Structure 1
């Protein structure tokens, strides 16, 4: 009759022993209860995901840029009946006014070199830089490159917080990124997103065809700011966004470190970026009749040849198909543009291709690529 009570007695004995052991421990180590309570509360309060450390590491190197330029404009006056009869618009005298461009920049050396966008400082007569701690100083333009939209500024200072230019940082689609800048004058603003794409060519850019695409918000004033990874390392320089006027939302672009670091090096050393130039415009060659679109490199078709350029000097003309550049097959217009730009002016290269179906090859000396828009 006593057997059914044996398990109950065992449980009661275990409970009594546990309570006694806990009492002894609390007496011997009085602080253990508070430690346990504090540890549990800290674990409950600890955020699951936070990028505060990355922001703290990167944000001090991001500055606000105010570029002042003088703009000349012609005033409109009240229409005169006589002139309105012919033109419909009556213009008055010209006037000048001060226009201010708002942007961001990234300190990339402790002695005050700053990377920003060319379009932020283009035409500026005075540039001011506001640092993370509220200090404001003047900056000078070291050099600017419109094709990559990169400009290098220099301000006075030493032991400044700087982000490292590392073109070899790994990056994958889906990585978390943070955009830090000065949107609408709200300095040190951080937005978060992911890498949406790599190697993008938005808006038919003439040279920079390796943009990082991100959905991190890039607003007016973010241009030239930092795009960093979840560790606070610099992976890109924010440049522009496709706005809602284009039917887009959440599509921004940044210049990768592979391009930005090379442009920075050349501008710092030479003041300008030097690029080889064929002296011709070209696009991807059409697929020939009977050929398959996926058979491999099909070259580029010349659409125009510049007067006085290397291509014209050796007799190349519109309609020619270039299949090889320096002995390497030409895959498409983007790869050829990059390969010619990577060679210094004066380099002798051999090009081969077809003219009206007849093979040809010739040697030419590359020239310095003229500025964008020249």
Structure 2
């Protein structure tokens, strides 16, 4: 089959090559990949210094969907021709955290597309326990983003958004877009997104979400708009950018009792945030982190089928596998790009 393979980290060590088809074990499902999302931070890591969970050689690709090609003799829930997606996370289920059900904190965490061959290929093999049926009304492209929707779900759950709350999302890339959609469907009273790209804001404005165009050089301008719209502050602010300076400037915009959720990994050289301890005491503020999803695929797919969230709203480009590196570069160089989908087996 054709696949994107990195012998070791770095663009010079990667390429689209022919590799043997994966072998389908007794309890596994072989999937013909119809859509695989580029995860900008993870896939860029493979292309540069190497992913945190990466073990090489490896085929990347952890956001995917496709059609069942073959099933092992012990598989009972799927058959060839089924439309499916799969959870990429592989916790060990033996360590201290796994025994407590805290799979995201597994001490020997593995992941499809990082330490196990992934779906930037024509075929991928996955344990049946990780495979989920795609509802008839959900597209391959939308289903490929179930893992990312799950991460966003986890964040919204962690925020415990109060009824009629005022919510602000910093950034509306792929995660920010999904977070805004989920917040809109929560108990929130208002949901507002902040970004410096009008095209990204327009996508969410079409869903009835408030927008503010930011100028990175003059943050005081958007802060003034926010203070005018929300004179008492915001109940919840979710960072989907990873800019430490923006985080520091945004925390004072919280209401008393408000919550700041750190969703994104750092994206700037400055990787630490300075907090005003007195402000946190006086206003009883909360600063929380939120990490990867686990066991949320069923509810994510149900939300898609019910129209409560539309992952396709994040998709700006589609490329064939042969043009993978062009697609990855586009994701970085085109400021209007959000989520890019690779179609290893052509457009269905």
Same fold (TM over 0.5): no
Q: By percentage of residues, which structure has more helix?
A: 2
Normalized against structure 1, the TM-score is what?
Answer: 0.24
Give TM-score scaled by structure 2 length.
Answer: 0.25
By relative contact order (CA 8 Å, sep 6+), the higher-ranking structure is 2
Query: Larger C-alpha radius of gyration, 1 or 2?
Result: 1
Structure richer in strand, relative to its length:
1
